[in-house]
Amino acid sequence: MTPLDYGRSFLIGTAPMNEVRFWVESRIRIIDEETDVSADYYQCASCKSEDTFAERDLFLKDNYDFLPVFGPEFGLIFRRNAWHNEGYKSIVKTEDMWDGPLVHLVEGSACTLLDTTDAVLEATRRYAPIVAQTEIRDTATSLRAVIEYPVKTMNTRRSGPDYQVDTGPVLFPDLSLRFERQVDGMLLAFIAFNTPHFADFVLEVPTSAAGPAAESDREVQVHHYSKRLSVKAKNRLYAVE
């Protein structure tokens, strides 16, 4: 798939009371290799819980991070409080999310595959916008996913030469099961890689707030990026200009 120009890609709601515009932060394409049917999901940038269009005190007192995901039929809303809350992940009909969104996706007009380390370093050092695609597959379920995202943080060094992508959040799909609703198997994650053939993820899951050494306080939990996972992958980097 042609990489998006993430600086110019948005979704906007159609509800008369709040035509909210969301910046597209990543997208994921799930491909069913048995049927050759695919579906795209758009993860949007997070904001904070608010009293929209109020006269004062715009942020809610018990504030939480708010992050929406829009799919062809179902979407997700992540609400992350400071504590581990049961309403962290909500599945919603997309048509009920601000009366359904208008999708404005802009593909990169000039996308150059960075197929060598030298090409990655050159694009990084001349400040080119870089978009990554990470492709993963589960042979048992015949499900495949392409996770696409702008590279916000790129580590490089001249002595190697080496590079390492570290960015997020992105959507991570559980491909080991065929969920009736694909959004049931999606989590938020950060991703890192420094070769074309594997990717490491750290997933947001319930996590002890007391730290790994405090066994007696395991019941005190928050949602945090703590579950590490390494998978075989095909990583592609593009300069999108």
List pLDDT tens digits, range 27-45.
999 999 999 999 999 999 9
104, 133, 168: which is the final residue of a domain?
Answer: 104
Q: Which among 11, 7, 240 is positioned nearest to 104, based on CA atoms? A: 11
Q: What is the 3-state secondary structure (H, E, C) of 121-155?
A: HHHHHCCCCEEEEEEEEECCCCEEEEEEEECCCEE
Residue 211 is predicted with a pLDDT of 66
Paired tokens of 176: 């080991």
Q: Are 42 and 116 in a shared domain? A: no
HSE-CB for 24 with a 13 A CA cutoff: 29
What are the angstrom distances between the C-alpha of 53 and each of 11, 59, 64? 20, 11, 18
Q: Quick one: pLDDT at residue 33?
A: 96
**Are residues 160 and 45 both part of a single domain?**
no
Domain assignment present for residue 15? The answer is: yes
Q: Which residues pair with 186 in a beta bridge?
A: 173
Indicate the residue among 81, 104, 127 that finishes a domain. 104
Q: List residues bridging with 167 in a β-sheet.
A: 191
Asked whether residue 74 falls in the same domain as residue 32, the answer is yes
My answer on whether 77 and 139 are in the same domain is no
Query: pTM for the full model?
Result: 0.94
pLDDT digits 0-9 by tens, 165-211:
999 999 999 999 999 999 999 999 999 999 999 999 999 999 988 76
Q: Are residues 207 and 232 in the same domain?
A: yes
Q: Which domain holds residue 85?
A: 6-104
Taking CA 68 as the corner, what is the angle to CA 202 and CA 132, rounded to the nearest 5 degrees?
Answer: 50
Interval 200-240: pLDDT, tens: 999 999 998 876 655 555 578 899 999 999 999 999 999 99
- Does 141 share its domain with 192? yes
Q: Are residues 21 and 92 in the same domain?
A: yes
* Residue 216 resides in a domain: yes
Same domain, 187 and 80: no
Model pLDDT for residues 41-95, shown as the tens digit of each residue: 999 999 999 999 999 999 999 999 999 999 999 999 999 999 888 899 999 999 9
What does the DSSP 8-state code read for residue 185? G
**Same domain, yes or no: 44 and 86:** yes
- 155/90 same-domain check: no
Q: Is residue 148 part of a domain?
A: yes
Number of domains in the chain: 2
Q: Are residues 149 and 220 in the same domain?
A: yes
1 found inside a domain: no
| Cα–Cα dist 222/224, whole Å | 6
- From first CA to last CA, the distance across the chain in angstroms is 16
Question: Do 43 and 62 belong to one domain?
Answer: yes
